Chain A
Amino acid sequence: MVESNLINSYLGNANSSGLKSWIFSTDHKRIGLLYLYCMMAFFIVAMLLGVLMRLELLQPGEQFISAKTYNQTFTLHGVIMIFLFIVPGIPAAIGNFVLPLQLGAEDVAFPRLNLLSWWIYIFGAILALTSLFGGGGFADTGWTFYAPYSINTDTNVSLAVLAAFVLGFSSILTGINFITTIHRLRAKGMGFFRMPLFVWGLYATGWIQIIATPVVGITLLLIFLERTLGLGFFDPTMGGDPVLYQHLFWIYSHPVVYVMILPAMGVISEILPAFARRTIFGYKAIAMSSMAIAIVGYLVWGHHMFTVGMSDTARWIFSLLTFLVAVPTGIKVFNWVATLYKGSIQLAAPMLLALLFIFEFSIGGLTGLVNGALSTDIHIHDTSFIVGHFHYTIFGGAGIGLMAAMHYWFPKIFGRMYSEKSAKTAIGLIFVGFNTLYFPMLIMGILGMPRRYHDYLPEYQPYHMVSTIGSWILVLGITIMIWNLVRSARKGEPAPDNPWGATTLEWKTPSPPPQLNFDYTPEVQTGPYDFSEILSKDANKKKQ
């Protein structure tokens, strides 16, 4: 039965193989995978750039890349990781695949728009890569493109910001598509408070994508116009205002961290109940805190600018609001931990990754308190403490959330199981490597090591050395993880429909799902995490 699933599924349909049937497919499942493959390719490139930087920083002085190359390297690393990897991230890759299934729908609301947004993503990526070879080489501004440096540098900033502008449209279209899908295509009986929490995460994310992305789009376009036509928006020598640029940039770029993290939080809220065999603790609090984070998160961007010379009043208001967003985030963490209480816990790879997420993301969130308080932020702003902090949140949070999602839904996506043993080896190495790489950055930063430094004073060397060694361990772990997943997608054991005993709708259809997702019309009578059926099946099995 399992083998015939493969043939009739979205993967193996006889008249739909070959490249064309993928890159022009409007099937949300195929589009999700297209995103996933592209994102992974970009991730690997950017990861190697990160390792390159760490190698350069092994010792003080110039090792093997020049200051300018180093500056271009962290810019390229940041641009790829942010705009091509983690912003499309979980929504575009996993959300595309899972959202309609969890809602009991055949596809997203606008399948062709979905395909278009993938093509826009590819077009933006090509633009970004072209700028590598154009005049002046890749931008050397950092991923933030701060004016007036970005106006004056002779590297190819224009094409890079144009690429980011284009990529923004892809994000907006995905947001519109998901919100419409969630409003219109829920299965019969699925009210808003019966939606899985992953869907809630995508819902909050969709609104941020729609409302915030246009701001950064237009801001980056203004940089483009200023560079090409000499319009003076941000360069003070032309009458512009460099601080205005920072406001516009962060009005988007703070909310966008929630585009990265909310879907990951959704993933964790799916995995914990499934592997603890019990309903989530505080469903409504988790769902509503996503919305609260999305709303208050709009009003805190100024915490990136505590040292630019904003008025002192603006500074304390932004600081206060920043602390207030910490509360709903804390609530989520407590609810997750409480979900383990009196559960029946199976420590499979997705569960391990979810626990790892809670640990690393907690460090990210708690170090965020240091950034939120005014006097301490003044000290650690623009130091490697910040670099450590955001890797703990984006990578330890969103990145590990993506890894967890890839393991959790792997059997559903490919109809096969990954090797549990290799997965656990990889997770162990990633845990050790990750903290060895980033924890020293937190310490160095408190000791005053500025970020974006190609060279440093000898007193910081021990920390840099440990950090570089950590990067090797981390990469080894990631390599094993990718190797395991790639191999198992073709050679793994066939997967049953519901290998984890999970309760949401995607597990009530074959693995991999048929082209139109369900062979019946799903209906919902309970909340998303009702384990009574699973548990009684289990009990029956034992009796026999």
Chain B
Amino acid sequence: MDSASSYSVLVDKTFWLILGSSIIMLFAITATMIWFVFKYSRKRNPNPAQIEGNAILESIWTIIPTIMVLIMFFSGWAGFKVMRNIPEDAMEVTVYARKWSWMFEYENGVQSSVLVVPVDKNVKLNLVSNDVIHSFYVPAFRLKEDCVPGYDNVAWFKAIEEGEYNLFCAEYCGDQHSNMITKVKVINSEEYDTWLVEQDTKPIGIDILSINGCTACHSLDGSKLVGPSFKGLFGITETVLTDGEERTITVDEEYIRRSIKEPMADITAGYPPVMITLPNLTDEDVDAMIQIIKDLK
């Protein structure tokens, strides 16, 4: 498997230490067991010896394992200390975890649904959740830390190899937990600088839907997820529940605006009332979203 962060090698050392000694132990225990079972079967050895114990042996197998587990402990702790020691010069990215997508916000305000970082640069992560607990997990970096509502958890890494790596949500968070997956893209620093400027200056596009997490529940291709698909949505008539009362509406600009700003006001029949409000959306953003939905025929 990829080993792509500055400390992943250190973690792997602990892995090999523990797994290696475990395999040896397991083999020794199993082989001894099988050997005794054959050698001292009732046929071969009808007269058992009644041995009640042996102080020296028992001391040995108390002391040696104690030393071994202490070594394992220190090895694990050493790797962990590096993970928790956040370098001063790290660039900061704020990670917003929410049901069921990721958003990464850079120091200059750029937002992205993929975590793009320059290679060989220390990156500090501020882990934020406003709904339930999620967990930021990049196996290739050996890095995991939870996003806990009400807590300001932090983590850091330095990617040492360019490439694309999986980023999972590792703490169970509901229906689409297993779709709360994105990528970490590690690129060289020139590419990164260009990317950052591009993101900052480009007009609002369709990725505003993924950045804000809409596409976790609303598909763009007509398939049914947690919420109704955006494809072909504009202009249709549908039944909604307003304060528990059914009524029929036509999906127009006003209806979409209201659905974004007050998601709980009208609930489309047959769907759960789970959408959250996005307090940081500007009117400009909302207009852009409406236009995009209109265009998805």
Residues of A within 8 A of B (CB): 67-68, 71, 140-142, 146, 148-149, 152-154, 236-237, 241-243, 276-279, 281-285, 307-309, 312, 315-316, 319-320, 323-324, 326-327, 330-331, 333-335, 337-338, 340-347, 355, 358-359, 362-363, 366-367, 369-370, 372-379, 381-383, 446-448, 450-457, 531, 535
Contacts and interface: CB of A to CB of B under 8 A. Distances in A.
Interface stretch (B71-79, B112-120, B185-193): B71-79
A52 B173 CA distance: 21
A337 B36 contact: yes
Contacts, number: 266
A68 B179 CA distance: 12
B162 to A, nearest CB: 19
Given A448-B1, A448-B139, A452-B177, A355 B37 contact: yes
A452 B172 contact: yes
A367 B149 CA distance: 31
Interface string B7-27: 100110011001100100110
B77 A316 contact: yes
Contacts of B48: 276-278, 342-344, 531, 535
A345 B57 contact: no
B104 interface: no
B249 interface: no
B89 interface: no
B105 to A, nearest CB: 20
Contacts of A366: 22, 25-26
A277 B15 CA distance: 41
Contacts of B236: none
B239 interface: no
Given A283-B52, A344-B45, A345-B36, A373 B75 contact: yes
B291 interface: no
A487 to B, nearest CB: 28
A312 B42 contact: no
A414 B41 CA distance: 28
Nearest to B10: A375
Interface of B: 1, 7, 10-11, 14-15, 18-19, 22, 25-26, 29-30, 32-33, 36-37, 40-42, 45-54, 57-58, 61-62, 65-66, 69-70, 72-73, 75-81, 83-84, 131-133, 135, 137, 139-140, 142-146, 148-151, 153, 166, 168-179, 181, 272
A504 to B, nearest CB: 16
A456 B170 CA distance: 12
Nearest to A60: B178
Given A316-B77, A447-B139, A456-B178, A337 B32 contact: yes
A473 B204 CA distance: 55
A326 B26 CA distance: 14
Contact of B146 (A309, A324, A335, A338): A309
B121 to A, nearest CB: 21
23 contacts: A67-B179, A71-B177, A242-B148, A281-B54, A307-B145, A327-B65, A331-B58, A334-B61, A335-B58, A342-B40, A344-B42, A345-B42, A359-B26, A362-B30, A370-B19, A373-B14, A373-B73, A374-B80, A375-B10, A378-B144, A381-B144, A382-B137, A448-B137
Given A337-B32, A376-B15, A347 B37 contact: yes
B83 to A, nearest CB: 7
A448 B166 contact: yes
Contacts of A67: 175-179
A382 B133 CA distance: 13
B62 A327 contact: yes
Contacts of B15: 370, 376, 379, 446
